[in-house]
């Protein structure tokens, strides 16, 4: 008998985090999670004193919180800034917790280290090793996951302030890390080039700062079986979930090397020719994810660990509509087509992953280009102009690609 599956986005934020939507509340999260096709969300920011008050009115069952019929898992993200090995480190971590009592203990520890009320993703000066030791002391069921692990500034393997391996970061505590989060600028294919991740899970989450479906669930993990914290934790630690949903890494903000202010970007090969110096301002380039992967890669070419999970590489449906109509993500035209599709076919991930081409073509009779883009997206056949230095990548139509690649 085939196991039931559910799609989870386990890394989001509340409106109390910086640079988030002011309307980011529980009802909006639930509404748009269902439109997206998600079955479970992280709570985001569980240690923030204002957000926790809103979470506490939800009903807790099996380690999950319920708003009506929709579940949330206790989750937050913290930022650590400290020195180790003679270098300044800036690392973001996702924390998953099994219940309210454990959340209270985590919050008490974090409060002893600094303020919690100024940002939903607070900054602390202690090390990754101390984080591991303290969380292990509180509960063996807390999961620590390095967030968006390859982004230059705050990824654990980032080019600017990260480490060259998990062992370097956690030393003798490294076995307590079971998974890393791929983030928008990386995917499992890239991360499997690192031999030190051969036995680790690679999960995916959106790190969304809004509830809009072109942000929420743009990356997610597909789990199997019962909807409970215990089951989710087991699958993360045993690498036994079904698959992940990823955006094209080029769509992320830090794929190529470059300078956004100089409007210059380039491949790692070109950076090498330039000695990593921007030809516009003559300062050092922000080194992107693809370059960093080349530096850390240690597995043979095309190596695939026996436990590697499949993944779907998808751009959000809003991006496809905007591309087909030469409009913007949030334009009235894009939303009208999007809403019509959702009303007809239920949710976005169903459209992106499962809907037959014939059904799409029948509904979008006068829109062959959009039908083609949805199917091309499913098979990874849409080229993206790579993002760099904080700027998102840009999906391209075929005729424009010829001029840009």
**264-266/257-259 β-pairing:** antiparallel
pLDDT of residue 402: 41
Whether 393 contacts 255, CB under 8 Å: yes
Please identify every stretch of the chain with a pLDDT value under 50, giving residue numbers as ranges.
Answer: 399-405
Q: How many CB atoms lie within 10 A of CB 156?
A: 30
Question: What would the pLDDT profile of 104-132 be if each residue is shown by its tens digit?
Answer: 999 999 999 999 999 999 999 999 999 99
pLDDT of residue 405: 35
Give the CA diameter of the chain. Answer: 62
Spatial distance between the Cα atoms of 99 and 104, rounded to a whole number of angstroms: 9
pLDDT of residue 302: 83
Domains (ranges, CATH) in the chain? 5-250 (3.20.20.140), 316-381 (no CATH)
Cα separations (Å) of 283 from 181, 258, 264, 280?
31, 10, 12, 8
pLDDT of residue 1: 60
Whether 124 contacts 17, CB under 8 Å: no
Tell me the CB-side half-sphere exposure of residue 357, using CA atoms within 13 A: 11
Whether 205 contacts 11, CB under 8 Å: yes
pLDDT of residue 306: 86
Spatial distance between the Cα atoms of 240 and 201, rounded to a whole number of angstroms: 9
Whether 329 contacts 335, CB under 8 Å: no
């Amino acid at each position: 008998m085939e196991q039931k599956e559910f799609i989870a986005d386990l890394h989001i934020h509340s409106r109390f985090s910086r640079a988030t939507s002011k309307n980011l509340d529980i009802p909006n999260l639930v509404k748009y999670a269902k439109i997206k096709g998600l079955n479970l969300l992280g709570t985001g920011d569980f240690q923030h004193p204002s957000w926790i008050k809103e979470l506490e009115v939800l009903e807790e069952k099996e380690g999950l919180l319920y708003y009506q019929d929709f579940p949330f898992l206790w989750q937050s993200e913290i930022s650590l800034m400290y020195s180790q090995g003679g270098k300044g480190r800036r690392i973001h971590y996702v924390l998953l917790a099994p219940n309210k009592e454990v959340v209270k203990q985590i919050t008490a520890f974090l409060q002893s280290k600094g303020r919690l009320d100024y940002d939903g993703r607070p900054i602390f000066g202690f090390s990754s090793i101390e984080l591991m030791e303290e969380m292990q002391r509180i509960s063996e069921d807390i999961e620590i996951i390095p967030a968006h692990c390859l982004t230059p500034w705050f990824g654990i393997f980032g080019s600017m302030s990260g480490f060259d391996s998990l062992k370097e970061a956690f030393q003798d505590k490294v076995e307590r890390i079971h998974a890393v989060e791929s983030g928008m600028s990386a995917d499992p294919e890239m991360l499997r080039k690192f031999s030190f991740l051969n036995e680790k899970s690679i999960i995916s989450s959106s790190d969304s700062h809004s509830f809009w479906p072109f942000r929420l669930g743009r990356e997610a993990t597909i789990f199997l079986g019962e909807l409970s914290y215990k089951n989710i934790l087991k699958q993360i630690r045993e690498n036994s979930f079904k698959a992940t949903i990823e955006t094209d890494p080029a769509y992320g903000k830090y794929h190529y090397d470059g300078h956004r202010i100089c409007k210059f970007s380039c491949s790692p090969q070109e950076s090498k020719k330039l000695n990593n110096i921007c030809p516009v301002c003559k300062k050092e380039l922000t080194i992107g994810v693809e370059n960093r992967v080349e530096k850390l890669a240690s597995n043979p070419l095309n190596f695939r660990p026996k436990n590697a999970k499949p993944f779907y590489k998808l751009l959000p449906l809003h991006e496809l509509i905007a591309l087909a109509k030469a409009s913007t993500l949030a334009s009235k035209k894009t939303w009208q087509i999007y809403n019509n599709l959702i009303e007809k076919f239920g949710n976005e991930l169903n459209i992106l992953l499962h809907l037959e081409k014939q059904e799409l073509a029948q509904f979008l009779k006068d829109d062959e280009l959009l039908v083609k883009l949805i199917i091309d997206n499913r098979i990874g056949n849409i080229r993206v102009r790579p993002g760099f230095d904080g700027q998102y990548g840009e999906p391209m139509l075929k005729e424009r690609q010829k001029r840009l690649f």
